[in-house]
A and B are shown apart, each in its own frame.
Chain A
Amino acid sequence: MPLLNASPIKKDQDAPFVAKAKNGDFSAFETLVNRHEKRLYRFAMNLLQNQEDAEDVVQSTFISVLEHLHTFREEATFATWITRIASNTALKLLRKQKNTPISLDEATDENEEGFIPHPDFIADWRHDPSKQIEQRELQSILDKAIETLPEKHRLVFMLRDVVEMRIDETGKALGISNANVKVRLLRARLALREILTRRFGDESKRIFQTHNHGEAHSDKTSARLLFQSYQE
């Protein structure tokens, strides 16, 4: 069930409020805050896994937006601009807490480079969770899933797939090579896919590794090949 449709290019719906806020209208600025605060908070929580830190990041982000609004040249959307500010703020905080960018170092990735865990639960999803599950419950499922990732994978996933940074930007932000960004991203995506497919996948249509003794069914045959090659 592919859910991804090409999304049309949208006009920045925040632009009129940005213009008013630039002219000194606080209520326009507050509208922008109301529109984005929850999303940024959630983003910061996913990234930092700590409420106090998330609050710090959201507050510093909006203060920085307030102070630098006049420099925002509207080449990107307002949402993109503030998400970038929030991710920079969050990364700075992480670095400060660790003193050195320990978890962001490359050395530990060397052995991982060649190892990609093979997909285990392979089944189409029963439905579109965003339509079938209550928003709050869905969010809790997504948050719990991302909590289980090691920080270095979580960061790459958030920056690349949520903030939509390019690979080189992500690498630069984290101080790691593009190759490492790619490996970590793949591992993060596969890990999240695994967790969510266990939850949303259609158990009755799951493709199993074991049901393949001499059967000619093409799906099962290719499933077997899939697993053999992943395990080599």
Chain B
Amino acid sequence: MKCEEMLRMLNDYVDGEIDPAICDQFESHLEDCNPCQIVVDTIRNTIKLYKDGEVFEMPLAFREKLHQTLRERWSKKIENP
């Protein structure tokens, strides 16, 4: 398997959706090809950072307005279910 083919199958491999037979070839290529291994690792790191991203500052004025709106909607819902 060539590096270029690896690149085309990168998504399937990273997502665990690769054909098992091809997966073996993919992994044996990784054992011998450090650059491809690094690309796989750094792609995974990248996805993980975005997936795990948590807190973000939310504008305080918006937060207050949001909670006020929700409180009003909640009362309305309770009154007219």
A residues adjacent to B (C-beta < 8 A)? 1-4, 24, 26, 29-30, 33, 37-39, 41-42, 45, 51, 55, 58-59, 62-63, 66-67, 116, 118-119, 122-125, 128-130, 135-136, 138-139, 142, 146, 157, 161-162, 164, 182, 185-186, 189-190, 192-193, 196-197, 200-201, 207, 218-219, 222-223, 225-226, 229-230, 232
Contacts and interface: CB of A to CB of B under 8 A. Distances in A.
A55 B55 CA distance: 16
A62 B48 contact: no
A interface secondary structure, majority = helix
B15 to A, nearest CB: 9
B45 A3 contact: yes
B contacts with A: majority SS: helix
A63 B46 contact: no
Nearest to B36: A226
A162 B47 CA distance: 8
A29 B77 CA distance: 13
B2 A66 contact: no
A157 B57 CA distance: 22
Interface string B1-39: 011100110110010000000000000000011111011
B34 A42 contact: no
Contacts of A24: 78
Contacts of A232: 4
B7 A62 contact: no
Interface residues of B, number: 46
Q: What 4 pairs between A and B have smallest CB-CB spacing?
A: A42-B56, A229-B4, A226-B3, A219-B34
A232 B50 CA distance: 32
Contacts of A26: 71, 74
A59 B67 CA distance: 9
Contacts of B47: 4, 161, 189
B42 A161 contact: no
A66 B11 CA distance: 37
A38 B58 contact: yes
Among A3, A59, A200, chain B packs the most CB atoms within 10 A around the CB of A3
Nearest to B17: A167
Contacts of A125: 41-42, 45
